[in-house]
Structure 1
Amino acid sequence: MKGIKSVSTLIAGSGMLLAMLFAACDDTDERAELSSESNLSAVPGAGGEYTLNVGAEGSWVISLSGTGSQWCNVDPLRGVDDGVVNVVIAPNDERTSRNTLLTLASGASRDTLRITQQATEENFTNVIAGRLEIPRLTGETDYKFIDHSVTYQNKTVHNYCMEYNLPKRHARWVAFKAYDVTAADNVSRTDAWGDDPQVPAEYRTTKTDYSGYDRGHLVASNDRRYSKEANEQTFYYSNMSPQLSGFNQKIWQKLEEDVKAWMQDAALRDTLYVVKGGTIADDQIIKLTGEHNNVAVPKYYYMAVLARKNDSYKAIAFWLEHKEYSQPYHLKSLTLTIDQLEEKTGIDFFPGLPDSVERTVEAVCDVNDWTWITE
Structure 2
Amino acid sequence: MPKRKNRKNKKQKHSFGFFLLIIAILACLSVYSYKTNPEFREQIDSVIAFFKEPQITQISQIKDFSEGSNSDEKQPADSKSGKVISLPANLELPLCPGNHGEADHQIRHFAHYTICYRESYEQAEWSAYCLTEEELVKNAGRTDDFRSDPEIATGSATPADYKKSGYDRGHLSPAADFAFDEKAMSETFYMSNMSPQKGSLNRGIWKDLESEVRLWAKNFGRVYVVSGPVLEKSASEYQAIGENGVSVPEFYYKVILAPLYADEADKASPENADSVIAMAYIFPNEKCEGSLDDYAVRVDEVEARTRLDFFSLLEDKVENEVEAKTGSCGF
**TM-score, normalised to structure 1's length?**
0.57
**Aligned in 2, Cα 1:173/1:164: closer, same or farther, shift over 3 Å?**
same
| C-alpha displacement of 1:297 | 0.8
Separation (CA, whole Å) in 1 of partners of 2:217 and 2:125: 22
Confirm or deny that 1:332 pairs with 2:269.
Answer: no
Q: Which residue of 2 aligns with 1:144?
A: 106
1:208 aligns to 2:164 (yes or no): no
Residues 368 and 298 of structure 1: is their aligned pair in 2 closer, same or farther, counting only changes over 3 Å?
Answer: closer
Find 1:245's aligned residue among 199, 209, 218.
199
For 1:163-312, what aligned pairs fall within 5 Å after superposition?
Answer: 163-200=116-153, 202-210=154-162, 211-265=165-219, 269-282=220-233, 286-292=238-244, 294-309=245-260, 311=268, 312=275
Tell me which amino acid in the other structure corresponds to 1:131. Answer: N
Q: Secondary structure at the match of 1:203?
A: coil
- Displacement, 1:258? 1.4
Runs of at least 5 residues in structure 1 that lack an aligned partner in the other structure: 1-128, 150-158, 371-375
CA distance in 2, matches of 1:253, 1:286: 24
- Aligned-pair CA distance for 1:366: 3.6
Q: Residues 250, 286 of structure 1: CA spacing in aligned structure 2 closer, same or farther, 3 A cutoff?
A: farther
- Residue of 162, 183, 194 corresponding to 2:115: 162
- The aligned counterpart of 2:302 is 341
SS of alignment partner, residue 262 of structure 1 = helix
Counterpart of 1:320 (choices 280, 283, 286) is 283
As a proportion of its length, which structure holds more helix?
Answer: 2
2:173/2:193 contact within 8 Å kept: yes
Report the Cα distance in structure 2 between the residues aligned to 1:180 and 1:272, rounded to whole angstroms. 9
Partner of 2:52: none
| Cα drift, residue 368 of structure 1 | 6.8
- Which consecutive residues of structure 2, in runs of 5 or more, have no partner in the other structure? 1-87, 262-267, 269-274
Contact kept, 8 Å, 2:280 with 2:327, in 1: the verdict is no
Distance 2:296 2:234 in 1: 22
| 1:264 alignment partner, SS class | helix
Checking the alignment, whether the CA contact within 8 Å between 1:167 and 1:203 is kept in structure 2 is no
Change (3 A) 1:264 1:368: closer
Superposed CA RMSD:
1.9
Spell out, residue by residue over 1:183-214, the C-alpha distance to the aligned partner (whole angstroms, 9 max, x if none).
333222121222223212x4222112113211
Q: Measured at CA, do residues 337 and 191 of structure 1 come closer, stay the same or move farther in structure 2, by a change above 3 Å?
A: same
Secondary structure of 1:216's partner?
strand
2:125 and 2:307 map into 1 onto residues whose CA distance is: 11
Larger CA Rg, structure 1 vs 2: 1
Contact map agreement 1:206 1:237 (CA 8 A) in 2: yes
Q: TM-score, normalised by structure 2?
A: 0.64
Distance 2:186 2:322 in 1: 34
One-letter amino acid of the structure 1 residue matched with residue 242 of structure 2: G
The 1:368/1:272 distance shift into structure 2, 3 A limit, reads: closer
Q: Matches of 2:137 and 2:146 in 1, distance apart? A: 22
The runs of at least 4 consecutive aligned structure 1 residues that moved more than 3 Å come to 283-286
What are the superposed Cα offsets for residues 333-375 of structure 1, whole Å, 9 maximum, x if unpaired? 11011112212221111111111211111111243753xxxxx
Task: Give SS of 1:282's match.
Answer: coil
Residues 63-114 of structure 1 deviation map (CA, whole Å, 9 limit, x = unaligned): xxxxxxxxxxxxxxxxxxxxxxxxxxxxxxxxxxxxxxxxxxxxxxxxxxxx
2:184 counterpart letter in structure 1: A
Cα separation, partners in 2 of 1:179 and 1:324, compared to 1, 3 Å: same
Q: Percent identity?
A: 33
SS at match of 2:308: coil
In structure 1, C-alpha distance between the alignment counterparts of 2:329 and 2:158, rounded to whole Å: 42
Deviation, structure 1 residue 271: 2.0
Taking the aligned partners of 2:114 and 2:285, their CA distance within structure 1 comes to 23
CA deviation after TM superposition for structure 1 residue 286, in Å: 4.0
Closer/same/farther in 2, CA of residues 368 and 251 from structure 1, 3 Å limit: closer
Larger mean CA deviation between 303-312 and 235-244 belongs to: 303-312
Q: How many residues align?
A: 226
* Aligned partner letter, 2:286: K
Equivalents in 1 of 2:94, 2:231: separation in Å? 16
CA contact (8 A) 1:162 1:171 kept: yes
1:296-352, Cα deviation, whole Å (9 max, x unpaired): 1111000100001354100110011111234xx221011011112212221111111
